[in-house]
Amino acid sequence: MAEPTTIEQVTKQVEEVILGEDGKPLSKNALKKLQKEKEKEALKQKRAQEAAERAAKQAAESVDYAKEFYGKKPMNQSQERSGTKRERLTDINASRAGEKVWIRARVQTSRPTGNKMCFFQFRQHSSTIQGLVVMNDNSISKQMVKFAQGIPSESIVLVEGTIAVPSEPIRSCTVQDVELSITQLWVLSESQGRLPFNIEDASRPETEFEREDAQFSKVSLHTRLENRVFDLRTITNQAIFRVQAGVCKLFRDFLTSKGFLEIHSPKIIGAASEGGANVFKVKYFETDAFLAQSPQFYKQMVVCGDFERVFEIGSVFRAENSFTHRHMTEFIGLDMEMAIEEHYHEILDVFDELFVYIFKGLETEYAHELAIVHRQYPFEKFQYLPKTLRLEYKDAVALLRANGVEMGDYDDLSTEIERKLGQLVKEKYNTDFFMLDKFPLEVRPFYTMPDPANPKYSNSYDFFIRGEEVLSGAQRIHDPDYLIERAKAHGVDPESIKSYIDAFRMGAPPHGGGGIGMERVIMLYLNLGNIRRVSMFPRDPKRLEP
Q: Which is nearer to its own copies, 62 or 322 (CB)?
A: 322
Mention every residue, 6+ apart, whose C-beta is less than 8 A from residue 440.
Answer: 393, 409, 410, 411, 412, 456, 457, 458
Nearest approach in angstroms of CB 200 to its own copies is 15
Mark residues 87-126: x for contact with its own copies by CB under 8 A, - for none.
-----------------x-x----------------xxx-
Q: Which member of 71, 112, 361, 480 binds its own copies (CB under 8 A)?
A: 480
Q: For residue 332, list its beta bridge partners.
A: 315
Examine residue 229 and tell whether it contacts its own copies (CB under 8 A). Answer: yes
Nearest approach in angstroms of CB 518 to its own copies is 8
* Count of alpha carbons within 13 angstroms of residue 276, beta-carbon side: 11
Examine residue 80 and tell whether it contacts its own copies (CB under 8 A). Answer: yes
Examine residue 270 and tell whether it contacts its own copies (CB under 8 A). Answer: yes
- Candidates 209-217, 354-362, 478-486, 525-533; binding stretch for its own copies (CB under 8 A): 478-486
Question: For 207, which DSSP code?
Answer: G
Nearest approach in angstroms of CB 234 to its own copies is 9
Nearest approach in angstroms of CB 116 to its own copies is 26
C-beta separation of 21 from 15 below 8 A: no
The CA distance from 207 to 370, in Å, is 17
The CA distance from 408 to 474, in Å, is 22
C-beta separation of 178 from 164 below 8 A: yes
Q: Collapsing DSSP states into helix, strand and coil, what is residue 474?
A: strand
Burial class of 477 by CB neighbour count within 10 A (0 to 12, 13 to 18, 19+)? buried
The CA distance from 486 to 78, in Å, is 63
Examine residue 489 and tell whether it contacts its own copies (CB under 8 A). Answer: no
Nearest approach in angstroms of CB 360 to its own copies is 19
- Candidates 81-89, 113-121, 134-142, 385-393; binding stretch for its own copies (CB under 8 A): 81-89
- Candidates 53-61, 278-286, 366-374, 522-530; binding stretch for its own copies (CB under 8 A): 278-286
Nearest approach in angstroms of CB 452 to its own copies is 4
- Candidates 29-37, 137-145, 351-359, 500-508; binding stretch for its own copies (CB under 8 A): 500-508
Count how many residues are written for the chain. 546
Examine residue 76 and tell whether it contacts its own copies (CB under 8 A). Answer: yes
Q: Which is nearer to its own copies, 306 or 380 (CB)?
A: 306
Examine residue 285 and tell whether it contacts its own copies (CB under 8 A). Answer: yes
- Residues 421-460 interacting with its own copies (rule: CB under 8 A): 449-452, 459
Examine residue 230 and tell whether it contacts its own copies (CB under 8 A). Answer: yes
Q: For residue 156, list its beta bridge partners.
A: 106, 189
Nearest approach in angstroms of CB 249 to its own copies is 7
Examine residue 23 and tell whether it contacts its own copies (CB under 8 A). Answer: no
- Residues 508-527 interacting with its own copies (rule: CB under 8 A): 508-510
Question: For 160, which DSSP code?
Answer: E
The CA distance from 181 to 131, in Å, is 6
Q: Which member of 79, 95, 138, 167 binds its own copies (CB under 8 A)?
A: 79
Mark residues 291-330: x for contact with its own copies by CB under 8 A, - for none.
x------x--xx-xxxxx----xxx-x-x-x-------xx
The CA distance from 444 to 511, in Å, is 16
The CA distance from 58 to 411, in Å, is 88
Examine residue 487 and tell whether it contacts its own copies (CB under 8 A). Answer: no
Chain CA centroid to CA 353, Å: 29
Dihedral sign of CA atoms 226, 227, 231, 232 in order: positive
Rounded (10°) angle between helices 518-526 and 235-257 = 120
Examine residue 241 and tell whether it contacts its own copies (CB under 8 A). Answer: yes
- Residues 370-409 interacting with its own copies (rule: CB under 8 A): none
Examine residue 218 and tell whether it contacts its own copies (CB under 8 A). Answer: no
Examine residue 72 and tell whether it contacts its own copies (CB under 8 A). Answer: no
Examine residue 251 and tell whether it contacts its own copies (CB under 8 A). Answer: no
- Candidates 171-179, 380-388, 403-411, 505-513; binding stretch for its own copies (CB under 8 A): 505-513
* Count of alpha carbons within 13 angstroms of residue 244, beta-carbon side: 22
In Å, how far are 359, 376, 399, 418 from 383, measured between CA atoms?
10, 20, 20, 18
C-beta separation of 243 from 534 below 8 A: no
The CA distance from 218 to 200, in Å, is 10
Examine residue 82 and tell whether it contacts its own copies (CB under 8 A). Answer: yes
Amino acid at site 372:
I
Q: Which member of 479, 496, 527, 530 binds its own copies (CB under 8 A)?
A: 479
Q: Which is nearer to its own copies, 121 or 265 (CB)?
A: 265
In Å, how far are 184, 194, 495 from 284, measured between CA atoms?
56, 43, 21
Nearest approach in angstroms of CB 322 to its own copies is 11
The CA distance from 324 to 309, in Å, is 34
- Residues 152-191 interacting with its own copies (rule: CB under 8 A): 154-156, 188-191
Q: How many residues bind its own copies (CB under 8 A)?
A: 114
C-beta separation of 437 from 458 below 8 A: no
Catalytic residues: 318, 320, 326-327, 469, 472, 520
Q: For residue 118, list its beta bridge partners.
A: 112, 133
Q: Which is nearer to its own copies, 92 or 135 (CB)?
A: 92
- Candidates 20-28, 77-85, 204-212, 408-416; binding stretch for its own copies (CB under 8 A): 77-85
Examine residue 336 and tell whether it contacts its own copies (CB under 8 A). Answer: no
